[in-house]
C-alpha cells in the first residue's frame, strides 16, 4: 500500500480521461463536445506534470543547500500543450459560432438532418 | 555558412512568412509571397536530398543544445524524401491556388488562406524534419489547426461541420499520441527519437512501453485516416475548397504515414515490434478492409471529390499494408506509394478543382458532356484515373508491382490476390466518371463551358505528367524508397 | 538504318503518324494520305528486318529501365517478326479499305478513329518485338486502352455497354491474373526475359506449373479462351475496319501470340511436356473450339457469327501451344498467319455488304451475291481457307495441328479438329449459297429492319445509292477501295498455300533449345 498515493494519481488521470472521452462521443451538443475534449486534454496534462515530481525534490531553481530538484521538463512540455489546447478550444468554439450562424443549431442530430436534406 | 542551417530554414522560412501574410493583407501580394516561399522550400528540400545522398544523415542541433536534452532535427533518406514530396506538392499547389481560391473563398479572406497554407506546410515539414517526439506533436498541431481553418474556408456550409468533426477527431488523435510520448518519457527519460530507439530494446517487454506504442499508433492512425478511424476524411476532402483538398490529399495523410513509420521502425526499431506485439496482423487486417471498403464506397458516390476521398482511404490501405509487411520490399512498396499516390491524387483533385472552377459543382451528373467541352482537363482525369487503376507506364503500376512482389516474396498468396482484386475496383469507379463525361450529352440548361485557365492547367498537367514520368522510369523512386526502407529495417537484421 | 534502329522507329512511327493525323484532321484527304504513307513506311521497315532475322540475327534495343532490374527492351525473333509483319502489312490494306468504308458509311469522328488505330498498331508492334514479359504487358495494356475508343466509336448506349464488357474482361483478366503471374514468375526466377528454352525450368514446383500456366493463359484475355471470350462479340459494335484488323488480327492475335511467347520462352516446351501442365487447358481450348462453332451457327448477325468463328479459331492456336510439341507450336504460329488473311477477308466482306446494301443479318442476304459477286466470291475463298481446304493457306496450319495431336497421342484432339472443320462448313458456306442461289426477298430491299444490330446504318436510312456504291451493270458493289482490299486479301489466302514451307522454315529457330 506504500505505492497507493503514487498510483492514485494515475487513477485520477484515467478516470478523467475516460470522462472526457465519453463526453466527446456521447454528447450531441457541439459546445459540450469541446468541454469534453478539454477534460480529456487536461487529464494528459496532469499525467505529465505528476511524472515530473521527484520525491523530496523542490522547484528546480539553483540554490545553496538543495540537492534534489524536481524535473522541470514535463512542465515546459505541458506549457506548450496548454497553449495548443487553448488554440484548439478557441478555434473549435469559433467554428461552433459559425455553424450556429449557418445552421441555426449546434446539435449534431439536427445538423445531420439538415445535411441529409441538402 | 547558410547551408549548415538549411534544415532549420526549411521550417523557419514558411513559419515567418505566414504572419507576414496577415500583415500584408493584399490577396495578390500574399499569393506571390506564398508562391515564392513554396519554391524556396522546394529548393531547400532538394538541396537537402542531395546532401543526404552524398554524405548521409544530417543532424542539426536546435540552438546548439546537444541531444538528448536539446531538440535535434535529423534528416536521413526517408525524411528528405518526404520533404521533397511535401514541398514539391506545395510548389505546384500555390500557383494553382490563385484562381481556384479566388473562386471558392471569400476574397476578403484570401490573405488568411495563404497564411494558413504556409502554416500548414510549416507543420507538415516540421513533423518530417524533427528528431524529437514531443516536438513532432507540436508540429502535428500546427498543421492540424491550420488545416481546420483551411477546410472551413469554403462557401459550402458543410465545410464548417466537416472542419469541426475533424477538429474533434484530430485533437483526440494528437492527444493519444502525446499520452504515448508521455509514457515513453516516464520509462526512458528521453524524448529524442533516435535516443528512444536505442533505449527501448532493453525495456521492450515493459507493459507501459507497449501501451505507449498502442497509444501512438492509434493516435497517428486517426491522422492518417486508416479504417476505421477515417470518418473525418471524406467530408473534409469533399467540402473543403478544391485547392485545399489538393494540398491535403497529397501531403497531410502522407506525412502522418511517415510519422507512423518513424514510430514503428525508428522509435521501436530496435525490437521487431511488429512481430513482438502482433500489431502487424491488426494493421494488415485494417489495411485490407480499408482497401475494399474505401473502393466499394467510392463506387457509389455522386460527388466526385468525395469519391476520390474514399479512393484515398483505399490507397492509404495499400501504404499501410506495405509497411506492415515488415520487409525491405514491403516497406519500400509502402514508401514509394507515398510519393506516387501524392502525384496521382494531387493531379486528380486538381482536375476536380478545374471542374468546380468552370461549372461550380463536383457532382457527377453535372459533369455530363464535359469530355467535349474541357478536353484537356478531362483527358488529364482519364490519365490520372488510369494511373490510379495501375495501368503500366504509370506510377500506380510501379506501386502495385512493388506491393505484389513484396506479398509474393513472403508467400502471402491470398493478400496478393486481394491486392489485384481491390485495384480492379478502381476501374469501376473511374469508368463511371468517364462514361458520364464522354458518353452523355451536356445538360440542356448549362451555358457553354470553356477549358480551364492555363494557370490551373499547367500545375495539373505537371502532376499528371510526373505520374507518367516516374511510371515510365520507376527506378529513381524505387531506388530511394528501397534505400530508405533498408535503413529502417536495417536496425533489425 | 541498322536493324537496331529500326525497332524504335517502327514502333514510334505510327505514333508520329497519329500526331500527323491529328494535325491534318481538318482535311480528310491529307489525313488519310498521312495514314497510308505511315503504314507503308512502317511495313517497309518491318519487312527490312526479315532477312536479318532469317539469317539468325536477333536485333535488340533497350529503351531503359522501368523498375530496378527490369527494362523495357525489345528483341526481334521469328515469332514476333511474323506477327509484326502481318500486323503492319494488313494495316496498309485496311487503311485503303477504311477510306472507302468510312466515307461510304458517313462515320463521325474519323480523325479520332485514325489516331486510335495508329496507336493500336504501334502497340501491336511493341508486343511483337518485346524482349521481356514486362514490355509485352505494357504494350498489351496500351493496346486494350487504345482500342476502347474504337469499340465505343458510335457513342450509342449499346456501344457503351460493349465498351464496359470489353474493358472489364480485358483489363480484369490482365490485372487480376496475368500481372499476378508475371510478378510471381519474377519472384521465382529474378528475370522476365524471353529466353529460348524457358526460364522456369527447375525454379517452380511441378504442381504449381499448371497453376501458373492457368494464370497466364486465362490472364491473356485477348486470346478469348472461354469463359473469357465475351468481349470479342461485344467489340463487334465497332466500325467494320476495326473488327477486321483489330478484332480479327491485331488484338486477338496479340493474345495468342502472347500465349505462344509464354509457352515457348517463359515455360519452355520441355517443362510443359514433362509436367503435362497444359493438358487440361488444351481440353478447355478444344471445348472452346466446338462450343464457339456451335454458337456461331446460331448467330444470324454476320459480324457476330464471324466473331464466334474467331473465338473458335483462336483456340486452335491455344490448343497447338498447350499440346507442348514442336509441331503444335509451329501449327499454332502458322495459324496466326493463315487465319489472319482468311478472317480479315471475311470481315472486309461483311463491311462491304453493310456499306453497299445496309444488310447485317444473314437471313436478309438472299440473292445478294448477284448484286455483289466479287464480294461473295472472295467470301467463299476466305471461307474455304478457314475451313482448311486446299489450295488455300488454312490447310497447312490445320495439317500441322492435326499432326501434333496425333504425334502426342491425343486422338481426341484430331477428332475435335475434324468436327470443327465440318462445323466451319456448316456456318460459313450456307451464307454464300444463300447469296447466290436464293431469290432476293422483296421485303429485304428495305434496309430499316436491321435496327438494333446495326446502329451505324440507322443514321442514314434510304441512302441506298450514291457514294456508298460502285455500280457496273447490274452490280451494286461497295466502293472500289473496299472491294479492292478484300479481293487482295482473298488472293493472299491463295498465295499463302504456296509459301507455307517458307514460313515454316522461318519459324523453326524458335524451337531451338527444345528437344520435343
- Each residue's pLDDT tens digit, C70-111: 888 888 888 888 888 888 888 888 888 888 777 777 777 778
Taking CA–CA distances from A114, the nearest residue in chain B reads: B158
C152 and chain B: CB distance < 8 Å anywhere? yes
Residue B157 · residue A103 · CB < 8 Å: yes
B281 and chain C: CB distance < 8 Å anywhere? no
Taking CA–CA distances from B190, the nearest residue in chain A reads: A73
Å from A88 to nearest chain B CA?
7
State the distance between the two ends of chain C, measured CA to CA, in whole angstroms: 38
pTM value?
Answer: 0.88
In 3D space, the residue among C419, C216, C392 whose CA is nearest the CA of residue C321 turns out to be: C216
Residue C416 · residue C120 · CB < 8 Å: no
- Identify the pLDDT of residue B89: 93
| pLDDT tier, A43 (very low <50, low <70, confident <90, very high otherwise) | very high
Write out the DSSP string of C46-108.
HHHTHHHHHTT---EEEEEEEETTEEEEEE--HHHHHHHHHHHHHHHHHHHHHHHHHHHHT-S
Q: What are phi and psi of B474, to 5 degrees?
A: -85, 5
- Identify the pLDDT of residue A2: 47
Give the H or E element holding residue C283. helix C279-298
What is the domain range of residue A63? 4-117
Q: Which residues, 6+ apart, have CB-to-CB distance to B226 below 8 Å?
A: B283, B286, B287, B290, B316, B317, B320
- Given B393, B423, B431, which is nearest C175 (Cβ)? B423
Coil vs helix vs strand at B186: helix
Alpha helices in B240-365 (DSSP H): 242-247, 253-261, 273-276, 279-299, 304-324, 328-359
Residue B13 · residue B45 · CB < 8 Å: no
pLDDT in tens, C115-167: 888 888 889 889 988 888 889 999 999 898 888 888 888 778 888 888 888 88
- Given C67, C142, C171, which is nearest B401 (Cβ)? C67
| pLDDT tier, C442 (very low <50, low <70, confident <90, very high otherwise) | low
Write out the DSSP string of B74-92.
EE-HHHHHHHHHHHHHHHH
For residue A81, list chain B residues with Cβ-Cβ distance below 8 A.
137, 178
In 3D space, the residue among B69, B222, B237, B90 whose CA is nearest the CA of residue B162 turns out to be: B237
What is the domain range of residue C317? 3-511
Residue C152 · residue C165 · CB < 8 Å: no
CA-based angle B81:B87:B90, to the nearest 5?
A: 145
- Render the burial of C382-391: b for 16+ CB within 10 Å, e for the rest: bbbbbbbeee
> What is the sign of the dihedral through the CA atoms of C242, C248, C251 and C252?
positive
Alpha helices in B130-269 (DSSP H): 133-152, 158-188, 193-199, 207-224, 232-239, 242-247, 253-261
Residue C456 has pLDDT above 70, yes or no: no
Å from C434 to nearest chain B CA?
39
- Identify the pLDDT of residue B276: 67
Q: Which residues, 6+ apart, have CB-to-CB distance to C51 below 8 Å?
A: none
- Identify the pLDDT of residue B358: 86
pLDDT under 50 in chain B at which residues?
492-493
Interface test with B, best of C126, C175, C219 (most B CBs within 10 A): C175
Residue C448 has pLDDT above 50, yes or no: no
pLDDT in tens, C21-60: 888 877 878 888 888 888 888 888 888 888 888 787 888 8
Give the H or E element holding residue B60. strand B58-61
Assess if residue C516 is contained within a domain.
Answer: no
Beta carbon pairs, A and B, within 8 Å: 70
For residue B408, list chain C residues with Cβ-Cβ distance below 8 A.
183-184, 187
Assess if residue C172 is contained within a domain.
Answer: yes
For residue A51, list chain B residues with Cβ-Cβ distance below 8 A.
182, 185-186
Interface test with B, best of C65, C66, C165 (most B CBs within 10 A): C66
For residue A91, list chain B residues with Cβ-Cβ distance below 8 A.
145, 148-149, 167
Residue B122 · residue B13 · CB < 8 Å: no
Higher per-residue pLDDT: C502 or B493: C502
- Identify the pLDDT of residue C86: 87
| pLDDT tier, C307 (very low <50, low <70, confident <90, very high otherwise) | confident
Which chains have 3+ CB pairs within 8 A of B? Answer: A, C
> In chain C, what's the furthest Cα-to-Cα distance?
69
Phi-psi region of B369 (alpha: psi -120 to 50; beta: other; left: phi over 0): left
- Given A17, A30, A77, which is nearest B134 (Cβ)? A77
B228 and chain C: CB distance < 8 Å anywhere? no
In 3D space, the residue among B138, B110, B139 whose CA is nearest the CA of residue B122 turns out to be: B139
Residue for cell digits 490472364?
A: C219
Residue A30 · residue A108 · CB < 8 Å: yes
- Residue C308 to residue C362: CA distance in whole angstroms: 15
Beta carbon pairs, B and C, within 8 Å: 76
- Identify the pLDDT of residue B136: 92
- Residue C217 to residue C223: CA distance in whole angstroms: 8
Question: DSSP state, C413?
Answer: H
C165 and chain B: CB distance < 8 Å anywhere? no
Residue C266 · residue C310 · CB < 8 Å: no
Which range has highest mean pLDDT (A75-89, C189-203, C459-473)?
A: A75-89
Residue B291 · residue B318 · CB < 8 Å: yes
Q: Indicate the average pLDDT of chain C.
A: 81
Give the Cβ contact number of residue C445 at 10 Å. 10
Cβ contact, residue pair C183, B405, below 8 Å = yes
For residue B185, list chain A residues with Cβ-Cβ distance below 8 A.
51, 74
- Identify the pLDDT of residue A16: 92
- Residue B95 to residue B117: CA distance in whole angstroms: 12
In 3D space, the residue among B385, B97, B93, B476 whose CA is nearest the CA of residue B252 turns out to be: B93
Q: Chain C 253-292, CB below 8 Å of chain B: which residues?
A: none
Which chains have 3+ CB pairs within 8 A of C? Answer: B
Cβ contact, residue pair B439, C142, below 8 Å = no
In 3D space, the residue among C515, C512, C397, C516 whose CA is nearest the CA of residue C58 turns out to be: C512
What's the domain count of chain C?
1
| pLDDT tier, A118 (very low <50, low <70, confident <90, very high otherwise) | low
- Given A24, A47, A115, which is nearest B182 (Cβ)? A47
Residue B100 · residue B353 · CB < 8 Å: yes
Assess if residue C178 is contained within a domain.
Answer: yes
Q: Which residues, 6+ apart, have CB-to-CB distance to C53 below 8 Å?
A: C59, C76, C77, C78, C81, C506
Interface test with B, best of A14, A39, A92, A101 (most B CBs within 10 A): A92
Residue C369 · residue C436 · CB < 8 Å: yes
Lowest mean pLDDT across B462-466, B487-491, C176-180, C459-463: C459-463
CATH number for the domain harbouring residue A17? 1.10.287.3510
| pLDDT tier, C376 (very low <50, low <70, confident <90, very high otherwise) | confident
Residue C515 has pLDDT above 80, yes or no: no
For residue A21, list chain B residues with Cβ-Cβ distance below 8 A.
172
- Identify the pLDDT of residue B480: 87
What would the grid cell of residue B261 be? Answer: 513509420
Residue C439 has pLDDT above 50, yes or no: yes
- Identify the pLDDT of residue B145: 93
For residue B474, list chain C residues with Cβ-Cβ distance below 8 A.
66-68
> In chain A, what's the furthest Cα-to-Cα distance?
72
Residue C453 has pLDDT above 60, yes or no: no
- Identify the pLDDT of residue A3: 57
C68 and chain B: CB distance < 8 Å anywhere? yes
CA distances from B381 to B223, B386, C353 (A): 27, 8, 40
What would the grid cell of residue C153 be? Answer: 466509336
Amino acid at each position: 500500500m506504500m505505492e497507493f498515493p503514487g498510483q492514485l494519481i494515475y487513477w485520477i488521470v484515467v478516470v478523467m480521461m475516460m470522462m472526457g472521452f465519453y463526453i466527446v462521443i456521447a454528447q450531441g451538443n457541439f459546445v459540450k463536445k469541446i468541454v469534453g475534449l478539454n477534460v480529456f486534454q487536461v487529464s494528459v496534462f496532469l499525467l505529465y506534470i505528476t511524472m515530473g515530481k521527484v520525491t523530496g525534490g523542490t522547484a528546480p531553481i539553483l540554490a545553496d543547500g538543495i540537492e534534489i530538484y524536481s524535473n522541470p521538463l514535463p512542465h515546459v512540455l505541458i506549457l506548450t500543450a496548454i497553449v495548443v489546447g487553448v488554440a484548439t478550444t478557441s478555434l473549435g468554439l469559433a467554428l461552433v459560432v459559425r455553424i450556429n450562424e449557418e445552421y441555426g443549431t449546434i446539435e449534431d442530430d439536427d445538423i445531420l438532418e439538415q445535411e441529409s436534406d441538402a | 555558412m547558410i547551408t549548415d542551417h538549411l534544415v532549420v530554414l526549411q521550417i523557419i522560412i514558411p513559419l515567418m512568412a505566414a504572419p507576414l501574410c496577415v500583415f500584408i493583407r493584399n490577396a495578390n501580394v500574399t499569393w506571390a509571397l506564398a508562391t515564392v516561399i513554396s519554391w524556396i522550400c522546394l529548393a531547400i528540400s532538394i538541396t537537402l536530398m542531395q546532401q543526404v545522398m552524398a554524405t548521409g544523415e544530417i543532424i542539426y542541433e536546435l540552438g546548439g543544445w546537444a541531444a538528448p536534452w536539446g531538440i535535434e532535427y535529423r534528416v536521413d533518406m526517408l525524411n528528405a524524401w518526404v520533404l521533397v514530396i511535401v514541398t514539391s506538392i506545395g510548389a505546384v499547389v500555390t500557383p494553382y491556388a490563385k484562381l481556384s481560391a479566388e473562386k471558392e473563398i471569400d476574397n476578403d479572406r484570401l490573405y488568411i488562406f495563404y497564411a494558413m497554407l504556409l502554416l500548414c506546410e510549416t507543420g507538415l515539414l516540421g513533423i518530417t524534419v524533427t528528431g524529437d517526439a514531443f516536438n513532432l506533436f507540436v508540429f502535428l498541431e500546427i498543421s492540424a489547426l491550420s488545416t481546420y481553418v483551411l477546410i472551413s474556408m469554403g462557401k459550402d456550409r458543410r465545410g464548417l461541420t466537416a472542419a469541426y468533426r475533424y477538429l474533434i477527431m484530430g485533437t483526440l488523435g494528437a492527444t493519444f499520441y502525446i499520452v504515448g510520448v508521455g509514457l515513453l518519457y516516464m520509462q526512458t527519460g528521453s524524448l529524442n527519437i533516435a535516443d528512444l530507439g536505442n533505449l527501448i530494446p532493453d525495456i521492450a517487454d515493459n507493459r507501459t512501453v507497449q501501451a505507449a506504442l498502442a497509444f501512438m499508433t492509434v493516435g497517428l492512425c486517426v491522422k492518417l485516416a486508416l479504417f476505421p478511424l477515417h470518418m473525418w476524411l471524406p467530408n473534409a476532402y469533399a467540402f473543403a475548397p478544391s485547392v485545399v483538398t489538393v494540398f491535403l490529399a497529397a501531403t497531410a495523410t502522407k506525412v502522418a504515414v511517415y510519422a507512423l513509420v518513424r514510430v514503428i521502425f525508428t522509435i521501436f526499431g530496435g525490437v521487431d515490434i511488429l512481430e513482438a506485439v502482433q500489431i502487424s496482423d491488426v494493421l494488415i487486417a485494417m489495411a485490407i478492409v480499408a482497401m475494399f471498403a474505401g473502393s466499394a464506397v467510392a463506387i457509389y458516390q455522386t460527388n466526385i471529390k468525395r469519391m476520390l476521398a474514399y479512393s484515398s482511404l483505399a490507397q492509404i490501405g495499400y501504404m499501410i499494408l506495405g509497411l506492415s509487411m515488415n520487409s525491405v520490399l514491403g516497406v519500400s512498396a509502402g514508401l514509394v506509394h507515398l510519393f506516387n499516390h501524392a502525384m496521382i491524387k494531387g493531379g486528380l483533385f486538381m482536375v476536380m478543382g478545374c471542374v468546380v472552377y468552370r461549372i461550380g459543382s463536383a457532382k457527377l451528373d453535372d459533369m455530363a458532356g464535359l469530355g467535349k467541352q474541357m478536353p484537356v482537363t478531362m483527358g488529364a482525369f482519364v490519365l490520372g484515373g488510369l494511373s490510379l487503376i495501375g495501368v503500366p507506364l504509370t506510377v500506380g503500376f510501379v506501386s502495385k508491382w512493388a506491393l505484389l512482389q513484396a506479398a509474393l516474396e513472403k508467400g502471402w498468396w491470398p493478400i496478393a490476390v486481394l491486392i489485384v482484386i481491390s485495384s480492379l475496383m478502381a476501374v469501376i469507379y473511374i469508368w463511371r466518371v468517364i462514361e458520364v463525361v464522354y458518353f452523355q450529352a451536356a445538360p440542356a440548361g448549362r451555358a457553354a463551358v470553356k477549358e480551364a485557365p492555363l494557370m490551373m492547367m499547367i500545375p495539373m498537367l505537371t502532376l499528371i505528367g510526373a505520374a507518367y514520368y516516374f511510371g515510365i522510369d520507376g527506378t529513381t523512386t524505387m531506388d530511394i524508397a528501397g534505400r530508405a526502407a533498408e535503413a529502417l529495417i536495417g536496425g533489425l537484421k | 538504318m541498322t536493324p537496331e534502329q529500326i525497332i524504335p522507329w517502327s514502333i514510334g512511327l505510327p505514333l508520329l503518324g497519329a500526331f500527323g493525323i491529328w494535325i491534318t484532321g481538318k482535311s480528310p484527304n491529307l489525313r488519310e494520305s498521312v495514314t497510308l504513307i505511315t503504314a507503308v513506311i512502317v511495313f517497309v521497315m518491318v519487312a527490312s528486318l526479315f532477312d536479318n532475322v532469317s539469317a539468325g540475327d536477333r536485333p535488340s534495343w533497350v529503351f531503359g529501365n522501368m523498375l530496378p532490374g527490369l527494362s523495357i527492351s525489345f528483341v526481334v525473333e521469328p515469332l514476333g517478326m511474323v506477327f509484326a509483319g502481318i500486323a503492319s502489312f494488313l494495316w496498309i490494306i485496311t487503311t485503303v479499305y477504311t477510306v472507302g468504308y468510312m466515307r461510304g458509311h458517313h462515320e463521325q469522328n474519323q480523325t479520332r478513329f485514325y489516331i486510335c488505330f495508329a496507336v493500336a498498331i504501334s502497340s501491336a508492334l511493341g508486343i511483337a518485338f518485346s524482349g521481356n514479359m514486362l514490355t509485352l504487358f505494357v504494350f498489351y495494356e496500351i493496346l486494350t486502352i487504345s482500342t476502347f475508343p474504337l469499340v465505343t466509336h458510335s457513342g450509342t448506349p449499346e456501344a457503351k455497354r460493349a465498351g464496359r464488357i470489353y474493358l472489364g474482361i480485358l483489363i480484369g483478366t490482365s490485372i487480376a491474373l496475368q500481372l499476378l503471374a508475371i510478378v510471381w514468375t519474377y519472384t521465382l526466377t529474378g528475370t522476365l526475359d524471353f529466353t529460348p528454352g524457358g526460364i522456369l525450368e527447375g525454379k517452380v514446383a511441378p504442381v504449381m506449373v499448371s497453376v501458373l500456366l492457368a494464370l497466364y493463359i486465362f490472364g491473356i484475355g485477348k486470346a478469348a479462351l472461354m469463359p473469357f471470350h465475351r468481349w470479342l462479340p461485344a467489340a463487334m459494335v465497332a466500325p467494320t475496319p476495326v473488327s477486321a484488323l483489330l478484332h480479327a488480327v491485331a488484338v486477338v492475335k496479340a493474345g495468342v501470340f502472347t500465349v505462344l511467347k509464354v509457352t515457348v520462352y517463359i515455360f519452355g516446351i520441355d517443362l510443359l511436356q514433362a509436367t503435362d501442365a497444359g493438358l487440361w487447358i488444351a481440353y478447355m481450348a478444344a471445348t472452346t473450339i466446338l462450343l464457339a462453332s456451335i454458337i456461331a451457327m446460331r448467330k444470324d448477325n454476320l459480324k457476330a457469327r464471324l466473331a464466334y468463328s474467331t473465338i473458335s479459331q483462336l483456340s486452335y492456336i491455344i490448343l497447338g501451344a498447350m499440346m507442348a510439341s514442336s509441331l503444335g507450336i509451329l501449327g499454332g504460329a502458322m495459324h496466326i498467319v493463315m487465319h489472319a488473311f482468311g478472317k480479315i477477308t471475311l470481315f472486309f466482306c461483311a463491311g462491304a455488304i453493310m456499306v453497299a446494301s445496309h444488310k447485317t443479318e444473314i437471313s436478309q442476304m438472299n440473292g445478294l451475291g448477284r448484286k455483289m459477286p466479287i464480294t461473295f466470291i472472295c467470301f467463299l475463298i476466305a471461307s474455304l481457307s478457314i475451313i482448311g481446304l486446299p489450295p488455300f493457306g488454312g490447310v497447312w496450319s490445320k495439317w500441322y495441328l492435326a499432326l501434333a495431336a496425333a504425334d502426342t497421342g491425343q486422338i481426341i484432339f484430331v477428332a475435335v479438329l475434324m468436327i470443327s472443320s465440318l462445323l466451319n462448313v456448316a456456318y460459313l458456306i450456307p451464307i454464300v449459297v444463300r447469296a447466290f442461289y436464293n431469290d432476293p426477298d422483296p421485303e429485304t430491299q428495305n434496309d430499316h429492319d436491321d435496327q438494333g444490330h446495326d446502329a451505324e446504318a440507322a443514321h442514314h436510312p434510304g441512302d441506298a445509292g450514291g457514294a456508298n456504291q460502285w455500280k457496273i451493270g447490274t452490280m451494286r458493289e461497295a466502293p472500289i477501295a473496299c472491294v479492292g482490299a478484300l479481293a487482295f486479301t482473298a488472293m493472299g489466302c491463295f498465295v499463302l498455300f504456296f509459301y507455307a514451307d517458307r514460313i515454316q522454315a522461318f519459324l523453326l529457330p524458335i524451337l531451338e533449345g527444345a528437344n520435343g
